Amino acid sequence: MKKSYSSATRCNEKSFAATRSIQGIISNIIFYFSLLTLIGIVFTACKKENANTPAEEAQSINSHAANSEGDVLANYTGLSPQTMWELQQVRAAVARYRDINNAIKDGYSNINVDVPNMGHHFMKTSLVDATFDIRNPEILVYNGLDTGNPELVAVEYAVPLTYPKPEGFTGSSDVWNGTSGFPFWLVHAWVWKYNPDGVFNWTNPAVDLD
């Protein structure tokens, strides 16, 4: 009887131990499965965050350079990546001057130079010197002034002819004009209105003087 009882007890103990062992294995499986799931969620979130970061940065850089026509610079070809990058800096730097009131507040004034297929010119005389400063153009060019809807279409750089012709933008596409009748080396950059004749061309057939 004792032997039977002992055998039953040992059997129950083994069964209980086996059950505990199985339960432990199941608990471990559940734990590691939960851990792997958590790691997967965190990894996916990180991937999404990293994937969005460049887009968010690009949006931040270009947010000031967006208009109803989109980024007109994307339509220009034949320019080096460095030149395109410089033109993007120009767009971003003068984006606030799409509101002509901001330009006037910052010292740009109408110099009454109104040229067909070019526009109305506003100059900040305090910027005129021997230095070519890509982010601070001496002249802003507007269209639509006569109709009361001024639109920023281009910037223009002006360096007195008493100084050597500026190096200007990277590459040789920006041809500086020293024979305009004004005492300056001049070059346009059509960064807010696409110019089918080229971003640095003197005039723009897409612009009507109004």
Q: Which residues contact 132 (CB under 8 A, 6 or more apart)?
A: 157, 159, 166, 167, 168
* pTM (two decimals): 0.68
What Cα–Cα distance (Å) separates residue 150 from each residue in 77, 103, 121? 28, 12, 11
Q: What is the pLDDT of residues 117-142, one digit of tens each?
A: 999 999 999 999 999 999 999 999 99
Beta carbons of 161 and 185 less than 8 angstroms apart: yes
| pLDDT under 70: residue ranges of the chain | 1-70
What is the per-residue pLDDT for 70? 62
Q: Identify the helix (H) or strand (E) that includes residue 186.
A: strand 184-189
Question: Can you give the residue ranges of every domain in the chain?
Answer: 2-63, 72-189
What is the per-residue pLDDT for 138? 98
What is the per-residue pLDDT for 168? 96
Pairing of strands 184-189, 119-123: unpaired
What value, to the nearest 5°, has the Cα angle with vertex 175 and ends 128 and 192?
A: 70
Beta-bridged to residue 189, according to DSSP, are: 155
Distance CA 207, CA 210 (A): 9
